[in-house]
Amino acid sequence: MIIKGGFVCDPKNGILGEEMDICIECGKIVEKSVGGDVIDARGMLVLPGGVDAHAHIAGAKVNSGRIMRPEDGRRGIEPRTKLLRPSTGYTVPNCYAMGYRYARLGYTTAFEAATPILESRHTHEELEEIPIVDKGALTLFGNNWEVLECVRDGDLEKLAAFVAWGLRASRGYGVKVVNPGGGEAWGFGGNVKGIDDPVPNFGVTPREIIRYLMRANEILGLPHSVHLHTNNLGKPGNYETTLETLKAVEDITASRDRQVLHVTHMQFSAYGGTGWRDFESKAPEIAEYFNHHDQFTMDMGQLIFGSATTMTADAPLEYGNARLLHAKWSNHDIELEESSGVVPLVYGRKMPINAIQWAIGLELALLTKNPWQVIMTTDHPNGGPFVNYPEVVTLLMSRVKREEELKSLHELASKRSSLPSIEREMDWNDIAIVTRAAPARILGLSEKGHLGVGADGDVTIFDINPADVDPSKDHRKVKEALAKARYTIKAGEVVVRDGDITAVPQGRTYWVDASVPEDQAEKVRADLVEKFAKYYSIQMSNYMVQDAYVTHPRVVKAGVI
Amino acid sequence: MAFLVPDRTIYSPWRAKEKLSSSLMVILLKAIMISGRTLGQGANSEAKMSPEFFKATSFCALSEEDYRSLGISKEGNVLVRTEFGEVVVSAKKDVGLPLGVIFIPMGPWANAVVGPETGGCGTPQFKGVEAEVEETKMRVKDVRELFADLKRMGGEAS
Amino acid sequence: MAEDVLCPFCGCLCDDIKVEVENDQIVGVKRACKLGSSKIRGHERTKAPMVRKDEELVETSYEEAYDRAAKILKDAKRPLLYGWCSTVCETHKKGILLAEEVGGVIDSTATVCHGPSIIGIEEKGLAGSTLGQIKNRADLIVFWGANPAEAHPRHTLRYSSNSTGMFTPDGRKGRKVIVVDVRETRTAKNADKFLLIKPGTDYEVISALRMIVAGKGEIVPEKVAGVAKSDLEEAAEMMKAARFGAILFGLGMTHSRGRYKNVDNALSLVADLNGFTKFVVMAMRGHYNVAGFGQVCAWETGFPMSVDFSRGAPYFNPGETAACDLLAKREADAMMVVAADPVSNFPRATVEGMAEIPVIQIDPFPNPTTLLADVVIPSAVCGVEAEGTAYRMDGLSLRMKKVVDSPYPTDEAIIQNILDRVRRLGDDN
């Protein structure tokens, strides 16, 4: 296949908007095509396939969202066709809708942001049903008893061996840490209040948990860094906890050419104020810190006005949301491992808090100078559903658009944030970085997010001519073009043409197989045998995700040896 | 309200203000029927055509006092009637049952007297059906007999 | 000897069963309860596929049975595909696809068990946990309209009142147990506090407890549904004093007057209690994988049960699209029953609706549904003769094992065969 004459942005390879041909053979980008389809991309924008590094798309809490929200299922309905299964839902779409909608937006890879090991079988059952895109899942470790005990005992090698085992047991891709210690405290209805607040019954602090897991992550040389949801997330004044957390790990270095820590959906962790009344943005402080510390990355967690379904392993946060909003509330604690919660809500333009939150996400992306450090997400469906990515792109590219939006918002969005004064407008290379190149680099997916020889043949072609269209002024055109890819090509196969799905291949599932010394693995095994005998409600032999649940694996090797 | 008349005594323990005198015999008991799982029902629930399942589910349990006041003979049967239907089942005592509550294990005999209405939620009300119970000399139908009157179309399914 | 086998009976989905096998025959079952061991040891089977000819079921080939089943589904305008509680998730996926293909309605046995619980969750959400969380932490268990002694015999020892864990080393001695029921069940005899309520008054009793918990006890009358106010106050006090409480409710809540409103109110009580201490709530799901159907159906269609595909896109409205409603209103014009027995478990007047339409049965065992079926297709027993996924009552997914070989095809294979034929019939049109 050859894609001829498009306007190509491939920032990883230094191609910043050149007219050139892209060739794909056997699912990979190659120097020269030997035949096949010729796609005339003249006057169109050609990008690598989109990569979503953080979205809640599969597993128990996503399905809890569906079950408790039939009113959401009744939105976004599309009947089946000869090729497609039916679609339902807006914030919590069914599996098929997820794959189709990602593909229509030009996305070819999406990672589920949080799976407890015990319930990973379920996560993979849903990932298997999401068509087209490649995927993976990040495994939760921040409240696991074995982790807490290794930290308490200061046994870093054993912790690394457990992380390797947990990734294999869950067929997981990376180390996710959510409100470390808080999830365990929630087992008796408590929480931790900061990074030095000890976890009840275990005597370790969130600071220690984060540091140990980061060090274990680097001992194992995992492709992705620790992926952190900070303590105190969602609370006024929490930017101090966020900065304190980052300062606490400045001395740790990455074992690979990537960040040492990814702080996720930063919008929810960049709040000032002593309460909701004096709530304000502290995004400039966070961005300023990032501008001086390039070892850290973040994603936006951009808020989208309208319906959202918040879902997180941060269960005390969800309980707080439910109390505050008098909303439906689901909670799900997972023995020895985690807690979690789901609360539907509506973000309103005229709600002061929501309007300020909206501004914070944009401030973070625009004030952080290096686009490789801030990637685009809505923390789907917490900030809003991923189908709104074209809206976010236009906001990043157009100050005019931002001003139009600000006019429709509560005035505090302008007063309590610096957004009105921000002039920066991203260009297509910046967009290619924050939606493709950077998420792939942050996840450690070397064959994703770029169009160099050897990369996966995942390409998006948008019907927009950067030579004619000024995204700053013509933001409506940009949004329209991004909402319906002219072509999405997945592993060399055209899966979307003119916004319609044309093929439904099964994507691959990434997981990391990390090796550890046998003596350390044996120590972990002995601990686990005891935990299963005394505390788990199932047998150890039935715990690990079986191969039957990952039918198209892409195993990435890592480890100590 | 209790109706205590010599020829046809109807006693409704839920509505009664006073306990029934033990010397009085009751002909018709007004009761609340509930159904539910039991060990025997469960253990034979994949063997529903077996005599064991029949034995485990074709009975009606009554409180000791209701059992006595209906004058049920040893291994006697009762006729349970509701607005939705009637069924003959064997009678048993259950000390755990309060006055005026009868229990039939989940299964075809219980469902013979349950109504189809789902109240808009898809689920019939399997518990708390108002019923009348009386002793009977009629025999308990087996599972085939229970459904024998439901005619199949037969022949080629179209 | 097969170790750590999963039990294909109730929602406990015990995964520690030992099955002794000699010459591909099961000769012994250890650790299972009476219910589980009875199923694993096996019952009389339907020997061969059957079709009804001249009012009698006669044996036939699988090929003919598949053809007949496909034709029935294809010819129907409003086919109902019902059951799914005693089979694995792999079957559910195929069944949902078949329902889509024939524009039918798919519904599970949840609609005659915990369907009201799911509707309650739609109203309020569910504050729950895995069973192991209760085992390790709960110091108060409330069984409400649930009788695990008869319906989930190993529940108390493995997961709830009598289990031991990290913060519950003393097991039953370290816990309080409250039972709320309309009769003194075997479970009630094990309680520290038993509240005998009148049938159909769950809503009132829960409301009274909520008032007392919220500090508004003065408006509660001296007696509520036959229960003295002082007993309710004592129960509320026990709940608030718990370090970790769990309400485990059964069909007593969902089958009684109020149905989903009872559940809605119980879920609200649990949300209220979280303002004072830690509390979770769980439905005691009956069949081993009825919860799994709800999960699969939700991720495939967006809705957990009663999904109508007649418009090409999923439409969900229990009360209109639930199996009992479709049959009672004589709307369904054909029915496929998979791994369930509606003739036993539906009200008589609802069953009469089945008698008027062609019925296909896919099941390992003969049962009253066989009596009304036109096509009977025997299948392998999941969890004994076939592997696959099941979801425990707390939503935990586990892989069921195959212990012995079977001469019968799996449910999944049977549905795939019917689906292939339905598609071929479609191509001919």
Q: Quick check: helix, strand or coil at residue A194?
A: coil
- pLDDT tens across C116-162, in order? 999 999 999 999 999 999 999 999 999 999 999 999 999 999 999 99
CATH number at A202 reads: 3.20.20.140
First to last CA, chain C: 52
Q: List all residues of chain C from 284 to 343 with a beta carbon under 8 Å from chain A.
A: 294-296, 298-304, 309, 311-314, 316
Q: Do chains B and A touch (3 or more CB pairs under 8 A)?
A: no
User: According to the model, what pLDDT value does residue B152 have?
Assistant: 61
Q: What is the mean pLDDT of the segment spanning C213-238?
A: 97
Q: Distance between CA atoms of C373 and C355, rounded to whole angstroms?
A: 8
Q: Is the peptide bond before A180 cis (omega within 30 degrees of 0)?
A: no
Residue A78 has pLDDT above 80, yes or no: yes
**Is residue B2 over pLDDT 70?**
no
Asked if residue B117 has pLDDT above 90, the reply is: yes
> What digits encode the pLDDT tens for the residues B125-155?
999 999 999 999 999 999 999 999 986 654 4
SS3 category, B149: coil
A561 lies in some domain: no
Does residue A561 register a pLDDT over 70?
Answer: no
Cα-to-chain-centroid distance, residue A438: 12
CB–CB contact A333 C123 (8 Å):
no
- Does residue C358 sit at the B interface (CB-CB below 8 Å)? yes
Query: A384 is written with which tokens?
Result: 């809003």
pLDDT score, position B25: 72
pLDDT of residue A338 exceeding 70 = yes
Count of Cβ atoms closer than 10 Å to residue C407 Cβ: 10
**Residue B120 at interface with chain C, using a CB cutoff of 8 Å:** yes
HEC per residue, chain C: CEEEECCCCECCCCCCEEEEEECCEEEEEECCCHHHHHHHHCCCCCCCCEEEECCEEEECCHHHHHHHHHHHHHHCCCEEEEECCCCCHHHHHHHHHHHHHHCCEEEEHHHHCCHHHHHHHHHHCCEEECHHHHHHHCCEEEEECCCHHHHCCCHHHHCCCCCCECCECCHHHHCEEEEEECCCCHHHHCCCEEEECCCCCHHHHHHHHHHHHCCCHHHCCCEECCEEHHHHHHHHHHHHHCCEEEEEECHHHHCCCCCHHHHHHHHHHHHHHCCCCEEEEEECCCECCHHHHHHHHHHHHCCCCCEECCCCCCEECCCCCCHHHHHHCCCCCEEEEECCCHHHHCCHHHHHHHHCCCEEEECCCCCHHHHHCCEEECCCCECCCECEEEECCCCCEEEECCCCCCCCCCHHHHHHHHHHHHHHHHHHC
Average pLDDT over residues A229-236: 98
**Average pLDDT, integer, range A54-62:** 98
Average pLDDT, stretch A418-437? 98
Q: Is A167 helix (H, G, I), strand (E, B) or coil?
A: helix
pLDDT band at A36 (very low <50, low <70, confident <90, very high): confident
- Structural domain contains residue A10: no
Nearest to A207 by CA among A160, A238, A244, A178: A244
- Smallest Cβ–Cβ distance between C119 and the set B47, B121, B155 belongs to B121
How confident is the prediction for chain C on average, in pLDDT? Answer: 97
Q: Nearest by CB to B96, which of C183, C286, C349?
A: C183
A434-490 pLDDT, tens digit per residue, is: 999 999 999 999 999 999 999 999 999 999 999 999 999 999 999 999 999 999 999
> How high is the pLDDT of residue C160?
98
Q: What are phi and psi of A76, to 5 degrees?
A: 65, 30
Q: How confident is the model over C250-275, as pLDDT tens digits?
A: 999 999 999 999 999 999 999 999 99
Considering only alpha carbons, which residue of chain C is nearest residue B99?
C183
pLDDT of amino acid B3? 37
Q: B60: how many CB neighbours lie within 10 A of its CB?
A: 28
Q: Which residues contact C349 (CB under 8 A, 6 or more apart)?
A: B84, B85, B115, B116, C328
pLDDT higher than 80, residue C405: yes
Beta bridge partners of C375: C51, C360
Q: What is the pLDDT of residue B26?
A: 78
The alpha carbons of chain B give a radius of gyration, in whole angstroms, of 17
Q: How far apart are CA C398 and CA A308, in angstroms?
A: 30
Residues of A in contact with C128 (CB under 8 A): 330-333
What pLDDT is stored for residue C363 in this prediction? Answer: 98
Residue C377 structure tokens = 């297709």
- Judged by DSSP in three states, A19 sits in strand
Residue B4 is predicted with a pLDDT of 39
Q: Which fold has domain C115-283?
A: Dimethylsulfoxide Reductase; domain 2 (3.40.228)
What is the mean pLDDT of the segment spanning C306-322?
97
Which pLDDT band holds residue C20 (cuts at 50, 70, 90)?
very high
* 3-state DSSP assignment of residue A461: strand
Q: Which chain B residues are within 8 Å of C189, Cβ to Cβ? A: 96
CA A37 from chain center: how many Å? 33
Cβ contact C314–A73 (<8 Å): yes
Bridge partners, B80 (sequence order):
B87, B133
Predicted pLDDT at C426: 82
Residues 19-78 of chain B with CB under 8 A from chain C are: 32, 34-39, 42-50
- Domain limits of chain B? 10-139
Pairing of strands A134-140, A280-281: unpaired
In the block, tokens 């492709």 appear at A223
Distances (CA, A) of B152 to B136, C332, C369: 30, 16, 12
- Give the tens place of pLDDT for each residue, B60-83: 999 999 999 999 998 999 999 999
| Whether ipTM exceeds 0.95 | yes
Pairing of strands C176-181, C278-283: unpaired
Q: Flag whether pLDDT at B8 surpasses 80.
A: no
Q: In this predicted model, what pLDDT tens digit does every residue of C162-196 receive, in sequence order?
A: 999 999 999 999 999 999 999 999 999 999 999 99
- Helix A60-68 × helix C290-301 angle, to 10°: 80
Structural domain total, chain A = 1
Nearest CB to C130: which of A77, A96, A335? A335
A475 closest CA partner among A487, A461, A460, A464? A464
For residues C134 and C146, what is the distance between their CA atoms, to the nearest angstrom?
16
Cβ pair A83, A145 in contact under 8 A: no
Contact C100 A80 (CB under 8 A): yes
Domain ranges for chain C, please list them: 45-112+288-428, 115-283
pLDDT reading at B9 higher than 90: no
B158 has pLDDT over 50: no
Give bridge partners of residue A262 from the DSSP assignment: A227, A297
Residues A56 and A95: their CA atoms lie apart, in Å, by: 12
Containing structural domain, residue A449: 46-501
> How far is residue A302's CA from residue C18's CA, in Å, rounded to a whole number?
52
Give the pLDDT confidence score for residue B29 in this predicted structure. Answer: 93
State the SS3 of B66-88: HHHHCCCCCCCEEEEEECCEEEE
A330–C128 CB contact, under 8 Å: yes
SS3 A363: helix
Does position C78 have pLDDT exceeding 80, yes or no?
A: yes
Q: What is the mean pLDDT of residues C344-357?
A: 96
B20 vs A358: which has the higher pLDDT: A358
- Closest chain B residue to the Cα of C153, Cα to Cα: B39
The alpha carbon of residue A57 is apart from the nearest alpha carbon of chain C, in Å, by 10
Pairing of strands A261-263, A226-229: parallel
CB contact under 8 A, A535 and C166: yes
Distance, in Å, from the CA atom of C403 to the CA atom of A530, rounded to the nearest integer, reads: 27
Q: Residue window 136-175, chain A: list those with CB within 8 Å of chain C.
A: 145
C123 touches chain A (CB under 8 A): yes
CATH class of the domain at C45-112+288-428:
alpha beta
pLDDT band at B5 (very low <50, low <70, confident <90, very high): very low
Share of chain A above pLDDT 70, in %: 100
Torsion sign (Cα): A273, A279, A284, A288: positive
How many other CB atoms are found less than 10 A from the CB of residue A90?
22
- Asked if A328's CB is within 8 angstroms of C129's CB, the reply is no
Query: Measured between alpha carbons, how far is residue B143 from residues B51, B87, C368 in Å?
Result: 10, 12, 7
Residue A16 lies in a domain: no
Class of domain B10-139: mainly beta
Res. B12: pLDDT tops 70: no
